[in-house]
Structure 1
């Protein structure tokens, strides 16, 4: 027999690939412990009569009301309108906040000209501007979007300005020694260094966005989640009120989760740098 052919005793055994099992760690389950516990205790209190259904309906009743609102299309319609107002207001306010934050961060003349005025406006509670906005703009969509934009603008402005002003002077000096132009200094040193602080402002602005929208949609509105809540209050419909509160909480959590994922993608270089520094 040809010696080049391996015998049965010397044949190489090929191991079958191990099956991968989906594992869920404590770090993934821990954030849901308190919300799930609250719902379970709430349902138990309603079931055993500790909580009156007229005062606080059970989670099961709230779920059934949610199903009804979905089936007749009311919930989807109002959520889409609220998302439109929030998104447009955030983009407009965020663009203004970022623009003036960058401008005042890189230019002393611009900072001397605009910063004091912006800071004075920032210290005015933006919800107190509702009567002025209604008189000046009216009660249509532009008023609600404008109110959201005003609320969003200042957190992004403050964090953008702070991030640019906090850039390490040694990095700027090094960039200048390498002959980088002003545009290159901004794109390669200033903006990347300020980005973590800017994204922190974005996350804070998202919370302000939903808070502002809740108030904006309860004033002379005929659509949106805030309108649903106000309308339900007039009819003492506690189930729909709780549905609206839960939706706002979920939308806020979703927007924060999206912002965190964007932050982890954009700032991946920072994690690599931290790993190398520990090696």
Structure 2
């Protein structure tokens, strides 16, 4: 889209609050979405079939909202899990740029505006920013967190292997990326690990240097698992699912753009096979 077309027909940005069992924190995430300064903006409030009042709060706040943004409500009839929910989001969203926000994270008012301005220039498949981190009580702890320096030198091969990529809470995604690669088909992975590789593979990843999200670190961690052996097994399965998805995405990319990155594929396959053996208890 040319600059002239964008000025006469501004692109819609989709800002999505996706939540599950977050009745204690989702109000803040929704209000941060309502406070966004970018226009035109559609705000999707999507609940993954929570058993608490998460969706009721979404309904209440949507009904009371009187601002300029378009509000859309969605409640999944059954729990889809993170990957299923993310896939659905690409089907629901009308915007060319999708900005996700978890139900316990807070976005700065100009998050959508700054990200769209960066997106409009370079049309990346994925963007990330630094974050502020907060504890369970909502207090900001430490300084600004970023992995920009860590991922700056990543080759395609490194991106195929690493499980440390961007900070997913700060990410934004292009609808075009989904049009090319399709949905994530490995439910055991994380979307940030998949989308980072997709963007790097296409040469369309962008880091935006301004911190735009306050991220609440929490939930079940590997360290909190009662059985350490089970925790290790879960980590292996996560890696297997991630690298299987990356292999599929590599083949999709090569098929669509006729770019033969077989060195990256060759580097990925042995790792998948090795981890599959480890998961199955075979050495």
TM band (smaller chain): under 0.3
TM value normalised by structure 2: 0.26
In terms of fraction of residues, the more helix-rich structure is 1
Larger radius of gyration: 1
TM value normalised by structure 1: 0.26
In terms of fraction of residues, the more strand-rich structure is 2
